[in-house]
Amino acid sequence: MSGRPAAEAPPLLELRGVHAAYGRIEVLRGVDLSVPEGSVVALLGPNGAGKTTTISVCSGLMVPTKGSVYVAGRRVNGASPDQLARAGLCTIPEGRSVFPNLTVEENLAMVTFAGRRSFAEVSDETYGRFPRLKERRRQLAGTLSGGEQQMLALARGLASDPALLLLDELSMGLAPLIVEELYDAVRQIARTGVSILVVEQFARTVLGVADLAAIMLHGEVVKLGAPSELEEELSAAYLGG
């Protein structure tokens, strides 16, 4: 034996000097960000800071104009969303990504067609995590409340057994009590070893589950640290101080 420590595992997700643009309008201006394996990282900032564009780049919906994206140490610039999904990345986009004209059960069945997991496994896990969905299992997804639809979207994403989960504005348009319930679920998901990058405009709830927080302003990550270290910076970012 050489006596040297084993090499550290690379971050599950890493952005190095990433720039991205819509036409001539540059939105990301050299973003450096990483999600260590098994951690929850909150990406915070006001509207227009570039958070959703960052998620789009990470999920393969946008190709960086400059810089690199790595998943588990492998450069993935130009990889399609399907390729990234097969590599273990799952994105829950802003809004409710469910099939509104299918029941809850049918929504769950749709994600089992790839054959990785049985419907029994997926439904047992879903109803254990979200008992309310079991009560609504034969109800059309489009008739669920916003919070219930978000629970179903999370359940559908988790059915693919992702190693990395990207959550974009999980709390959008939801009542505070529902948001607390959803982030309790995020906390439980993190305990199973899934790494999570969560984008939020409203910081308070997500900071209760995050290991690290990054503040984004004008297309750049301006501060990264433990949530307890960033109170002053968060006030400045949101209030313009």
Q: Does 13-94+161-239 carry CATH code 3.40.50.300?
A: yes
What single DSSP character describes residue 55?
H
Half-sphere exposure (CA, 13 Å, Cβ side) for 17?
3
Winning range, highest mean pLDDT, from 86-95, 120-129, 170-179, 195-204: 120-129
Give the pairing of strands 13-22 and 220-225. Answer: unpaired
Q: Provide the 10 A C-beta neighbour count for residue 184.
A: 14
Q: How do residues 22-57 score in pLDDT, each as one tens digit?
A: 999 999 999 999 999 999 999 998 888 999 999 999
Dihedral of alpha carbons 110, 115, 120, 124, sign: negative
CA 235 to chain centre: 23
Give all strands of the β-sheet with 74-75 in edge-to-edge order.
25-35, 13-22, 66-71, 74-75
* pLDDT tens figures, 112-149: 886 678 999 999 999 999 999 999 999 999 999 999 99
What would the two tokens of residue 13 be? 């997700």
Tokens found for residue 113: 């067609």
Domain boundaries, the chain: 13-94+161-239
Length of the chain: 241
pTM of this structure: 0.88
